[in-house]
Amino acid sequence: MLPEHAPFTPDQRSALASLLAGLDPVQRGWLSGFLAAPAASAAPAPLAAAGKLTVLYGTESGNCEVLADRAVKAAKKRGFQAVMKNMSEISTADLAKIPSLLVLVSTWGDGEPPESAASFYKEIMASEASLSAVKFSVCALGDTSYEKFCQTGKDLDAKFEKLGATRINARVDCDVDYEDSFVAWLDASLTALAPASSVPAAVEAVASVVTAEYGKKNPFPAETLDTVILNGEGSHKETIHLEFSLANSGLTYEPGDALAVLPVNAPDVVKAVLQAAKLTGNEEIEVKNVGRKILADALREDFDITALSRAVLTKLAEAADSATLRELLAEDAKERLKDFNHGREIVDALLAFAPAGLSAEALTSIFRKLPPRLYSIASSPLAHSDEVHLTVAAVRYQTHGRERKGVCSTYLADLVKTGSPVQVFVQPNKNFRLPADGSTPVIMVGPGTGVAPFRAFVEHRAALGSTGKNWLFFGDQHYTYDFLYQLEWQDFLKDGVLTRLDVAFSRDQPEKVYVQDRMIAQAKELYQWLQEGAHFYVCGDANRMAHDVHEALITIVENQAAITREAAEAYVEDLKKSKRYQRDVY
């Protein structure tokens, strides 16, 4: 271990000691000489030009943008003239002029492209242009708990090939734990494009080790400052306001960003899985990148032990040697598999297909890493220095005779108390940002917990003294119980920060009323705001609410502008392209 007086932080001392412990005498000698050499001699020789490279990304939560930035930096170290482009900024015609292309794209919902990539995806999938001069490789991000895993990446990969582009490295399909797969793909792709690399691996390793800042690879243990139930007594909902300290973390965020929370699995869920596998939990196992751990601790802290998917069942079929499960996984049994997976979790599959139980190693072989959960940040850093706030709905329901619950939402609701440390990092979302001009009007549609980022928006504009008008549409079930942040909105109205507030409480009258109904009722003024340059934001459920709000917006434009439906759709699409229509949906 390095001495405590060494000029490094405790984390840096620990990281350096770990690196040095793994080096042999020859490697230590080389590193010592390299670090002791004069700056001039330590400077690398000029890199031979490796050519132009475009890293194209399509992202929903920001992961692909972060990886694209890393890819560009790695490519420049190898001599490439590398740039990154958002799919929202490029056309199929532009692609034909790109000699070397690396593509990073995520999939969300039912196999759909990210919001910002939707137009590009639609255009290229319909294109017949020749891409014969293009060399490419695709890294697809997805989630194996969804049926159409990495579908957008698979579609683009096949389409590029169909249009004549040359694949220089096989597509890689990454689950939520994508780091190792991404690094291997990037190295292989850059090597295929320019085999000679001039960057000593040891230098890159040292650079990464001594950087011990908090982030995705090193989450910050944020102290919980407060937790408050936002719903009134009698509500059918359980919405929690949480406040965390970011003091001494170095983490920063902007309104529109998300906070990633690394949860732990609930004790009763761990117990049920152990019982189904006929294990005690005291067994020892090896956890990748962690080391030896007691099984019960590993199930609680390291593995996704609930989400059922084809990938999990495929591994379980092998671990349990189940002929019945293999039949269910056959190509001609897709509908039966879909029916089985609906409403069930891994514990149900263990009981059904591994009745004799599993060894600890066999059990953990079917799991993936426990992924972080992203929540829209509900605070402005200008209003709450060194703090970050969330608005979380606890998910609880019953299916197939079992009580179910959201892993992270009920971790925050049941296990996190004031003073508890919660592992977090900031996930930037550049596709959901306030307008740079503070005088620009904004319209915000956020029912339920979808109101979270708009609390941040309004707080931020108040702190900046922005003069632009602010209009919020909020909806929930009952005015009496479910008016989230009611007193704050009333204060903002009183102070003139919030110009308009339209609410829709669906269960307070015989006929249900939703935010899109309130939009239609205020169609004339809403369209007038758009004509004045207003930015339009939506946050919340993608499948129903966001779709209905989108359709309502098109209808408003169609009727108020007295134009055709097609022209109204084009108007709304132009709002998207100019970043005046932004969505944070899930």
Task: Answer whether 292's CB lies under 8 Å from 285's CB.
Answer: yes
Cα 467 to chain center, whole Å? Answer: 32
Q: pLDDT tier at 38 (50, 70, 90 boundaries)?
A: very low
Tokens at 290, concatenated: 């962690």
Q: Are the beta carbons of 298 and 291 closer than 8 angstroms? A: no
- Measure the CA angle with vertex 114, ends 344 and 559; round to 5°: 105
Is residue 5 included in any domain, yes or no?
A: no
Please tell me whether residues 351 and 315 are part of one structural domain: yes
Same domain, 361 and 401: no
- Asked if residue 157 belongs to a domain, the reply is yes
CA dist 389 and 234 (Å) reads: 25
What is the extent of the structural domain holding 285?
Answer: 267-368
CATH of the domain at 469: 3.40.50.80
Whether 214 is covered by a domain: the verdict is: no
Provide the pairing of β-strand 284-287 with 291-294. Answer: antiparallel
Same domain membership, residue 307 and residue 224:
no
- Number of structural domains (the chain) is 5
End-to-end CA distance of the chain: 46
Last residue of one domain, picked from the residues 368, 385, 413: 368
Q: Tell me the one-letter amino acid at 148.
A: K
- Is 2 among the domain residues? no
Contact (Cβ atoms closer than 8 angstroms) between residue 177 and residue 371: yes
Cα dihedral across residues 291, 292, 296, 299: positive or negative: positive
383 occurs within a structural domain: yes
Examine the domain organization and report whether 181 and 303 are in the same domain: no
CB 353 within 8 A of CB 325: yes
Summarize the confidence of residues 382-397 as an average pLDDT.
Answer: 98
Is-contact 232 481, C-beta < 8 A? yes
Residue 283: CA atoms inside 13 Å, Cβ hemisphere, count? Answer: 18
Residue 109 clears pLDDT 80, i.e. is over it? no
**pLDDT digit string, tens, across residues 225-276:** 999 999 999 999 999 999 999 999 999 999 999 999 999 999 999 999 999 9
Residue reference for tokens 């330590």: 42
Task: Tell me the pTM.
Answer: 0.82
Asked if the model's pLDDT at residue 15 lies above 90, the reply is no
Residues 514 and 546 occupy one common structural domain: yes
Q: In this structure, are 342 and 391 located in the same domain? A: no
Summarize pLDDT for 148-189 with one digit per residue, the tens: 899 999 999 999 999 999 999 999 999 988 888 999 999 999
β-pairing, 51-58 with 368-369?
unpaired
Residue 118 lies in a domain: yes
Task: Give yes or no: residues 409 and 556 share one domain.
Answer: no
- Mean predicted confidence (pLDDT) in 352-360: 97
Tens of pLDDT, residue by residue over 53-68, are: 999 999 887 889 989 9
Residue 511 to residue 248: CA distance in whole angstroms = 51
Same domain, 97 and 191: yes
Residues 329 and 460 in one domain: no
Q: Between 195 and 444, whose confidence is greater?
A: 444
In a shared domain, residues 380 and 239: yes
Q: Are residues 17 and 135 in the same domain?
A: no
| 480 within domain boundaries | yes
Is the domain of 87 the same as that of 155?
A: yes
Structure tokens at 551: 């359709």
| Beta-carbon contacts of residue 515 (< 8 Å; ≥ 6 apart) | 445, 447, 473, 474, 475, 502, 504, 545, 549
SS (H, E, C) 218-247: ECEEEEEEEEEECCCCCCCCCEEEEEEECC
